[in-house]
Every structure is written in C-alpha cells, then in structure tokens.
Structure 1
C-alpha cells in the first residue's frame, strides 16, 4: 500500500478522504493547507508516493504546492481536487507523468478509484 500526503483546508473533506484511503490500506498523512504539506514534504519527500491536494487553498494553493512538491520528489503521483473545473485547467502546465483530477463533491468510491488509478 501507499503513503499518501493529503492537503485540504476543509476538515470535512480531509476526514472523508482519510477514511476512504485508510480503508484501502494506505497510510494517510493529513495537512490543513499547502504550507503545512510543503513543510511535511521537505522532511519526508522520499516516503510519499502520492500527493492528494485541494486546488483552492489560502496561502499556497494546490497547483503551486504540486509544482514545489515535484521539485522535492520528481515523479510524485498527484491527485488534484477542486469544486471549480476551471481551476483544474491550470494543472495542464505541470510536468508530471501521473496526474489525475477529481471534481468536488465526490463520493468515497470516486476518491478510492482515482487514487487506485494514480498509483498504477
């Protein structure tokens, strides 16, 4: 199973995603925003298999977080979540082999499926 870093400023989404992915056997490290996630990555990048992040967060948004995360861990798999489909268009500039997106709201089964796809 994978080690997943989750970054979302919405507590309800964090709880939902953590429950869904933990039930699949993954280890999920939860952060409340992009800065906290980047701080975690700075010391643990080699152990993270997948970054699941909200796109719209204060201070450091999910696209900027993804760009910085890829510097620390090239080849990192990414799942971007957003309630606004136009925000996901910004992800096109990311140079990443494994990038998937998920529009909010989503179900437990949808997040599990997207993560399975991102990890294969």
Structure 2
C-alpha cells in the first residue's frame, strides 16, 4: 500500500480520484490547494509515495507546488493533472520532476493506470 496525496481545488475531483485509487488499496490524503498540500507534506516530512496535483488552482498552483515539493522532498513522485492545453504546455518543462501529466477528463481506469505506472517507476528507481 502506498501513501498518496491528492491536491485539487475541486472537491468533486478530489473525491473521484480518491475513490478510484483507494480501490487499489492506497492510503489517501487530500488537500484543496498547494499551500495546504505543503503544510501536510511538511508536517510529516514528505512521507508520501506519490503526489497527484492539479495544475490550475488558487493560492499556489500545481507547478509551483511541484517545484517546491521536488526541492524539499526529492523522493516524492509527482503526477500532474490538467484540463487545459496551455497548462499542459507549461508543465512540459517539468519532466525532471514530474512523472507525467494526465489530461482531464479521464476515466477511473485511466487514473488508476497512471498512479500504478508512477508508483512502479518509483520502485524501479
């Protein structure tokens, strides 16, 4: 079982993703924005296996969150999510810190596969 932090400003998306990946037995924690996610990460010294974050959020967006989390918690695997093509382009330069960018909307099967792939790559390295 892996510990996964889901970060999205839309509660319905957090719940959908949490339910989807909990089906695979993962321990889920959620945050509504990047600032809250950093508080959670810092509070337990980054003890998550994976952070799945939306790119476009208020307060601190997913790219700023990914950059900060990668710097402070280098063992954390990061997956980005977005429904916007321009946000996907912004994330294209983050290949060194983000495992992948998942396009919204996605199916339950798509998100489960993306999470499994990210976690598998973590174990392989």
TM-score by length of 1: 0.93
> By how many angstroms is 1:7 displaced?
0.4
Give the whole-Å Cα distance in 2 for the aligned partners of 1:39 and 1:46: 10
Give the whole-Å Cα distance in 2 for the aligned partners of 1:75 and 1:59: 25
> By how many angstroms is 1:77 displaced?
0.9
In the alignment, structure 1 residue 93 sits paired with structure 2 residue 90: no
Contact 2:7/2:31, CA 8 A, preserved across alignment = yes
Cα RMSD over matched residues? 1.2
**Unaligned regions of 5+ residues in structure 1, if any?**
none
> By how many angstroms is 1:89 displaced?
1.9
> By how many angstroms is 1:45 displaced?
3.5
Give the whole-Å Cα distance in 1 for the aligned partners of 2:45 and 2:117: 21
Contact 1:41/1:72, CA 8 A, preserved across alignment = no
Q: How many matched pairs?
A: 119
Written as runs of structure 1 = structure 2, the 5 A alignment for 1:30-41 is 30-41=30-41
Written as runs of structure 1 = structure 2, the 5 A alignment for 1:37-76 is 37-76=37-76
> By how many angstroms is 1:85 displaced?
2.2
- Say which SS state the counterpart of residue 9 (structure 2) adopts: coil
> By how many angstroms is 1:101 displaced?
1.2
- Say which SS state the counterpart of residue 29 (structure 1) adopts: strand
- Say which SS state the counterpart of residue 119 (structure 1) adopts: helix
1:20-67 deviation per Cα after TM superposition (whole angstroms, max 9, x unaligned): 011110001011111100111112234111010000000100000001
**Unaligned regions of 5+ residues in structure 2, if any?**
121-125
TM-score by length of 2: 0.89
> Which residue does the alignment assign to 1:19?
19
